[in-house]
Structure 1
Amino acid sequence: MPVIQKMNVYRAVSTLSKPISDATHDISQIAFYVVELELDNGVTGEGYLLSFHYSPQAITGALNDLRDAVIGFECYETAKLSAAIERETEYFGNNGLLKWALATVNVAMWDAWGKTLKQPIWKLLGASTHKVPVYGSGGWLSYSDQELIDEVSDYKARGFGAVKIKVGTPESKGGIECDIMRLRKVREVVGNKLNIMMDANQGMNVPDAIKLSTLAADINIHWFEEPLPHTDFAGYQLIRQKTGIALAMGEREYDMEPLKQLIARNALDLWQPDIIRIGGVEAWRQSALIAHAHNIPVLPHYYKDYDVPLLCTVPNFYGCESFDWIDGIIDNKMRVENGEAWAREGAGWGFTFLKQHLQEL
């Protein structure tokens, strides 16, 4: 069986990189770290994580710590490697950047295994479909009104059935009234047939989230993502009870406990696992099945290049989030048409980063 011989780490910056802001962060750069695993059969597998401009030394260090640890593992031994690394890293805590690093290697191992078998991941895992609904994401608070209108107009023209915009404007810049104004502008542009979602990126408190949800009722918001800090389970429960708005959450989670807490409180409508934070392919699928057992659909965070193939293999897929950020630095961008994204037919995840965009670390 093919064995990992070498691990390489690269950094890449999106060709679409520009400063953006949400309710809690000012983001100066759209950047990624890419792990490449070389096998003794000549196959290479890749995985990537979204880093923006944050903690470059910490991320690089966490990835570098795995370079020697992965050597000698067969590329399908994802669970065995995870168990070994988690034992080693337990002293400093398995969640956080250490899990990000391990999950990126996990994704790269799956890519290598699929390429070794000459099959796409979604076929290896047993798919029930080959495409899933997709929504256009963005609507950053840093956008001018015209930039916001241009973005949602582009999504509509490309056939997207839903768009998501940011809310949680600071009081100094207009607060909730500004959020409502932006939402109304989007509704005017996209019409009544497209769904509109809003995302506060944990930037609101309970009273303000209830107020915004109430004022936005006539705009017909499809769901509200992360209105509160992700550990405020009682707050999510209260918002849902008081307003009836559908709530989406999960991108900040490193394990299944928050999902269980929200389910117990009847405080969740859509589960949004982040494949890198939650620990890789197996953990992503485990969380999806827990959600399925409680009739909660799955709508993952950000990584459509991995999420679309995985959504094709679970019964409770709802859709995926779409950004175009890596399209200019890979060899095979995902097919997205008429509001749907198609799982790639190529082996593994079906795409590779272009070497000219990778800075070796």
Structure 2
Amino acid sequence: MTKIKGYQLFSAKAQLEKPISDATHRLTEISFIVLRIQTESGIVGESYLLSFQYSPKAIVGALQDVAQLVVGEDVFNTVKVFEKINQANEYFGLEGVNRWAQAAYNMAMWDAWCKKLGQPIWKVLGTSRTEVPIYGSGGWLSYTIDELIDEVTDYKNRGFKAVKIKVGSANWRQDLERLRLVREAVGNEIDIMMDANQGMDVASALSLAKATQKLQITWFEEPINHTDFQGFQLLRNQAGISLAMGEREYSSLPLRELLVRNAIDIWQPDILRLGGVESWRDSAALAGSFNVPVLPHYYKDYDIPLLCTIPNGAGAESFDWIDPLIDNPLVIENGMARPHDRPGWGFSFKDECLTEID
């Protein structure tokens, strides 16, 4: 009795005291869409996506459209259903909200199937480790200096061994000063990374990268537009810093372009944009064939279990946004995270935190 008989959609929000900004976006809310599928035997598979304030009707519409292709299928037919959705979505495009919806069902199916098996997903896929390094993320450009220092100091006090802050200010020298103050606050034993969210041009990114060498910045994330492969190649050859990217990609093709140009050091897949579990793992395998480590974007509660199943997993990103909304937050101690130990993904959103979407 593993066939999908129905689904429900919900919205949820994390607390946000005031808007936050990076180099390219201003976020006015931290919002999520939660999908639950039900099997004929009563098993519930769940997944969620981070939506912020963007295109809520489009996302919900895509999820409702894809449901018509998924209901009636067995939850273990994840590859079959993925290809079925690909065929249906090809006319209007395989990227954007269509891919997010495709991924949400894929991940909910994996959750339901592993619950049927009574095992966590990382055990079903095969395990290479049982804990993963994790870094504290944030450092928004909209923060005051006091807010920035408070955040990175809190991460240090909680045992994190690395923090990431935003760059991409109108003047890169302002970014340099913020980085200098963070290094002063956390000391030399904490790794610092910087993320421009595609908000810089090649010249300013190169200037910032060279100026930060004395601060020992570990890597530079999305310094420029993610489609500027030649720009990434130039920066990697001249900037003297490791380059990370991947969160904006809906397939592994950009990764391949960067790999053949020797223009990437760290691959950062976003499981929702790529299309779910198989696509995430395929991209990790491609990165691994070039000895490039995997350090995914945002979804720690999905990424930690999956990182435990690959040989080239380098770490994960941590935001605390969903922790108060779920029943089984990840255990993070001394900068290491362990995967959930319950069947499936190992966590669910609390019913009282959800509002059903008609």
Identify the TM-score tier after normalising by the shorter chain. over 0.9
Provide the TM-score with structure 2 as the length reference.
Answer: 0.98
Partners of 1:21 and 1:142 within 8 A in 2: yes
The residue that corresponds to 1:212 in the other structure is 208
TM-fit CA distance, 1:15: 3.0
Query: How far apart are the structure 1 equivalents of 2:315 and 2:16?
Result: 24
Unmatched segments (≥5 aa) in structure 1: none
The residue that corresponds to 1:261 in the other structure is 257
Q: How does 1:208-357 map to 2 (within 5 A)?
A: 208-357=204-353
Partners of 2:219 and 2:242 within 8 A in 1: yes
Identity %: 56
- In structure 2, give the amino acid aligned to 1:220: Q
The residue that corresponds to 2:155 in the other structure is 155
The residue that corresponds to 1:86 in the other structure is 86
TM-fit CA distance, 1:16: 4.5
Provide the TM-score with structure 1 as the length reference.
Answer: 0.98
Partners of 2:210 and 2:240 within 8 A in 1: no
Query: How far apart are the structure 1 equivalents of 2:66 and 2:228?
Result: 34
- Please give the secondary structure, in 2, of the residue aligned with 1:69: helix
Partners of 1:10 and 1:34 within 8 A in 2: yes
The residue that corresponds to 1:105 in the other structure is 105
Query: How far apart are the structure 2 equivalents of 1:263 and 1:87?
Result: 28
Unmatched segments (≥5 aa) in structure 2: none
TM-fit CA distance, 1:240: 1.1
The residue that corresponds to 1:67 in the other structure is 67
Partners of 1:15 and 1:329 within 8 A in 2: no
TM-fit CA distance, 1:41: 1.1
Query: How far apart are the structure 2 equivalents of 1:117 and 1:242?
Result: 50
Query: How far apart are the structure 1 equivalents of 2:314 and 2:78?
Result: 27
Partners of 1:70 and 1:81 within 8 A in 2: yes
Query: How far apart are the structure 1 equivalents of 2:121 and 2:87?
Result: 27
- Please give the secondary structure, in 2, of the residue aligned with 1:248: strand
Q: For 1:159-179, what per-residue CA distance to the aligned partner results, in whole angstroms no more than 9, with x for missing partners?
A: 111000000012xxxx11110
Q: For 1:163-198, what per-residue CA distance to the aligned partner results, in whole angstroms no more than 9, with x for missing partners?
A: 00000012xxxx111101100010001100111000
Q: For 1:250-308, what per-residue CA distance to the aligned partner results, in whole angstroms no more than 9, with x for missing partners?
A: 00001111101101111100000000000100000000001111000000000000000
Aligned residue pair count: 357
Query: How far apart are the structure 2 equivalents of 1:248 and 1:264?
Result: 15
- Which deviates more, 7-16 or 285-294? 7-16
The residue that corresponds to 2:4 in the other structure is 4
Partners of 1:122 and 1:309 within 8 A in 2: yes
- In structure 1, give the amino acid aligned to 2:86: E
Partners of 1:248 and 1:268 within 8 A in 2: yes
- Please give the secondary structure, in 1, of the residue aligned with 2:345: coil
Query: How far apart are the structure 2 equivalents of 1:39 and 1:6?
Result: 7
- Check if 1:180 corresponds to 2:176: yes
TM-fit CA distance, 1:67: 2.4
Query: How far apart are the structure 1 equivalents of 2:110 and 2:187?
Result: 41
Partners of 1:8 and 1:67 within 8 A in 2: no
- Please give the secondary structure, in 2, of the residue aligned with 1:66: helix
- Please give the secondary structure, in 1, of the residue aligned with 2:192: strand
Query: How far apart are the structure 2 equivalents of 1:45 and 1:117?
Result: 12
Query: How far apart are the structure 2 equivalents of 1:44 and 1:147?
Result: 40
- In structure 1, give the amino acid aligned to 2:130: H
TM-fit CA distance, 1:17: 6.2
TM-fit CA distance, 1:68: 2.4
Q: How does 1:5-154 map to 2 (within 5 A)?
A: 5-16=5-16, 18-154=18-154
- In structure 2, give the amino acid aligned to 1:144: T
